[in-house]
Every structure is written in structure tokens, then in C-alpha cells.
Amino acid sequence: MTCDENLGDGYSVGPLRIVGRAVLAPLSGVTDLGFRRVARRFGAALVVSEMVASDDYVLGAAEARLRAEGEGVAPHVVQLAGCEPGWMAEAARLAEASGASVIDINMGCPAKRVTGGHAGSALMRDLDLATRLIEAVRGAVSVPVTVKMRLGWDHAHLNAPELARRAEAAGVAAVTIHGRTRQQFYKGNADWRAIAEVTRAVAIPVVANGDIGSTDDARRCLAASEATAVMVGRAAVGRPWLVGRIAAELAGRSYAEPTLAEKGEAAVEHYETLLSLFGRDAGVRHARKHLAAYADAATEDGGGLKPADRLRLVTTDDPATARALIRQAFAARPELRAAA
């Protein structure tokens, strides 16, 4: 049975039918256009842009525009951050006009520079403002609106069910819950069971997130959270194909892991996209963390580089050298394993 024929394998975000139940998380500085293209091509059900500051985006800041870029990605989800309904509505309008098929609102970011401006997870401390933001965005666009949040600000205030209820009443099409509080940042374990409080509070799809690194994790998370789908973040860094694997295995489809060489070509494609998106110099700099992650993933898969070559990969300014080293990393290298 193919994914499309299996009606159980997917969910709806408003009028959009999402095929598959594993979604790539928004990761600032990571889920750039190149990363999202590769993840989607390998079968991620949905991919989400990095958080885009609504005011910067409206004012035309180059970085914000690049983060919201979605050429070649469908459906294209743009995540907006902010705490002013006016900026958020304008940014949403602009994103829709630029091709966004879903607007996601960030109510989960714990960073002080974001919460200090009362955006991100700080909105979970002011549900009236959070609701006004949602209503402003909903009123500004005709595409579906979703919200990503945490369990609450801290364990004394686990108000995700209440925020999700308000979001649903305001017409939000789906919510994602990262199973930690803001005060936990990324410490401790994600509490998948606590997400079930949200699942039971609303009828819209709930996407569960936090600490999912395999299909087995995804299954356990879905059972504990009673959620519709899972979202995978950090485990996909250096492995954009992982989300597609989880989506396929959750659907019970037979899954052929891409070969090392196919992964290498995907990493090269990602690298090329960064160079054309940011321009050569900024692209080379932006790519470095990805190249380090790809080299590590390749090592785990039976490829990898000698330490001196790995260093060259993550420091070179020369795209031809980088391309050659990526391909070298994703070649089977039994001699490296034997030496390890």
C-alpha cells in the first residue's frame, strides 16, 4: 500500500492534506532552504522554516527574507515570531503573498533575546496577547495557521491545553507541542505523556515534539502523547533523510535507506543551495556547521574522513574542495573503521 492510498497515514492542516506523520522541526540556523528541500525530497511529511522575526521580515531585512525562502518546497511553512499583532499580521500577509502555504506562529522559543521581547515562549505567560496575535494572523491570511508551543512557562504553569483550546477557537488548524517547559530550555527529557493533556483538550491535530531520534521513539511518543504526528529536530541535523525514514516506517511502508553515495549527493546539493542562496562567501560560512554534522553522520554510516581532512572540510573557503571532501566522506571507508 502506498502512502497516498493509506488514509491512516497522514493528517489535515485545514484544507491541506499532509501525507505522512513525521515533520521536520524549525531549527534556527539549520533548517535553511537547502536543508528543507533535501528533507522533503527524502519523505518528510512537512518541513518548517527557521523562525522569522516578523518586524525584520516586514522591514525587508535580508536575513529574514532568506529564512522565509521556500522555492522548491511544497507545502511551504513559514514560522513567524513576534509579539505585536500588527507586525505579525503584516508579516503573515507578506509570507502568504510570497508563496507560504501555512503560517506557523512561534510560541515556544526560550531564548532570552526572544522572550525578553515577550515573543516565543513568553507568550505562554500572557494568553490574552497570544490569542490576539493568533487572531491577527488568522485575519490577515487565507492559508492555514498553526502554533508551536511548549508545555508551559514552568511546571507550575502547564497551560498548553488552555492555549491550544484558545488557538483552536481562533481557527488554528494544528498545534505542535514540545514536551518541555520554557524553564527547562533543552534540559531533562521531553514529557510525551504531558502532551496528551493537549491532545485531549482539542479536536485539531496535535504534533508531538522532543527527543525523537528514531521510528521506535516516534512510536512510543505517539502512544504516550496520543498525538497525530511527530516532529523531529536535532536528530535530523546532518541527516535530513531521517524524517522521511520515520514517516515511511510509521506508515508501515517498506523503506530503503539511501545509499552512502546518495546521502553524499544530497549533502552536496544542500551545500550548493546555500552558496546560491547566500552568495559564495556567506554560503561557505553558513555551511560549516552542516558540513561538520554531515561528516559525523557519514562516520556513523561507515564512511567518514581522517581528522585532517575533516578539519579541511569545515574550514575550507573553496567550494570545489568542500564538494570533493563531502563525496569522500560519503564513500565507504573500511580502512578508517579498522583504524578506529
Ligand X SMILES: Cc1cc2nc3c(=O)[nH]c(=O)nc-3n(C[C@H](O)[C@H](O)[C@H](O)COP(=O)(O)O)c2cc1C
User: Catalytic residue positions?
Assistant: 109
Q: Using the rule CB under 6 A, is 50 a contact of ligand X?
A: yes
Q: Using the rule CB under 6 A, is 178 a contact of ligand X?
A: yes
Tally of CA atoms within 13 A in the half-sphere of 122 that contains its CB: 14
Q: Using the rule CB under 6 A, is 108 a contact of ligand X?
A: yes
Cell numbers linked to 24: 521536520
Q: Using the rule CB under 6 A, is 68 a contact of ligand X?
A: no
| Residue with the three cell numbers 518541555 | 180
- Given a contact cutoff of 8 angstroms between Cβ atoms, the answer to whether 197 and 158 are in contact is yes
Stretch that binds ligand X, among 24-32, 55-63, 250-258, 268-276 (CB under 6 A): 24-32
Stretch that binds ligand X, among 137-145, 162-170, 207-215, 252-260 (CB under 6 A): 207-215
Q: Considering the complex, what minimum distance in angstroms separates the CB of residue 120 from ligand X?
A: 8
- DSSP element (H, E) containing 24: strand 22-24
Tell me the pairing of strands 145-152 and 102-107: parallel
Q: How many Å apart are CA 96 and CA 142, to the nearest integer?
A: 8
Q: Using the rule CB under 6 A, is 324 a contact of ligand X?
A: no
Tell me the pairing of strands 16-19 and 10-13: antiparallel
Cα–Cα distances (Å) from 308 to 122, 287, 299, 304, 336, in that order, read: 44, 18, 14, 12, 13
Stretch that binds ligand X, among 5-13, 25-33, 35-43, 312-320 (CB under 6 A): 25-33
Q: Using the rule CB under 6 A, is 27 a contact of ligand X?
A: yes
Q: How many Å apart are CA 303 and CA 232, to the nearest integer?
A: 24
Q: Using the rule CB under 6 A, is 297 a contact of ligand X?
A: no
- Near ligand X in 224-253, by CB under 6 A: 232-235
What does DSSP assign to residue 259? P
Q: Using the rule CB under 6 A, is 209 a contact of ligand X?
A: yes
- Each residue of 191-225: b (16+ CB within 10 Å) or e? bbebbbbbbebbebbbbbbbbbeebebbeebbebb
Q: How many Å apart are CA 226 and CA 213, to the nearest integer?
A: 18
Q: Considering the complex, what minimum distance in angstroms separates the CB of residue 333 from ligand X?
A: 29
Q: Using the rule CB under 6 A, is 51 a contact of ligand X?
A: yes
Query: Which residue number, 235 or 324, has a Cβ lying nearer to ligand X?
Result: 235
Q: Using the rule CB under 6 A, is 184 a contact of ligand X?
A: no
Interface pick for ligand X out of 47, 68, 102, 109 (rule CB under 6 A): 109
Query: Which residue number, 29 or 72, has a Cβ lying nearer to ligand X?
Result: 29
Q: Using the rule CB under 6 A, is 152 a contact of ligand X?
A: no
Q: Using the rule CB under 6 A, is 212 a contact of ligand X?
A: yes
Q: Using the rule CB under 6 A, is 82 a contact of ligand X?
A: no
Residues contacting ligand X: total by CB under 6 A: 22
What does DSSP assign to residue 125? G
User: What angle (nearest 5°) sits at the alpha carbon of residue 172, between those of residues 19 and 16?
Assistant: 25
Long-range contacts of 58-64 (CB under 8 A, 24+ apart): 58/87, 58/90, 58/91, 58/94
Q: Using the rule CB under 6 A, is 211 a contact of ligand X?
A: yes
Stretch that binds ligand X, among 95-103, 151-159, 208-216, 239-247 (CB under 6 A): 208-216
Which residues of the shown chain bind ligand X in the complex (CB under 6 A)?
25-30, 50-51, 79, 106, 108-109, 148, 178, 209-212, 232-235
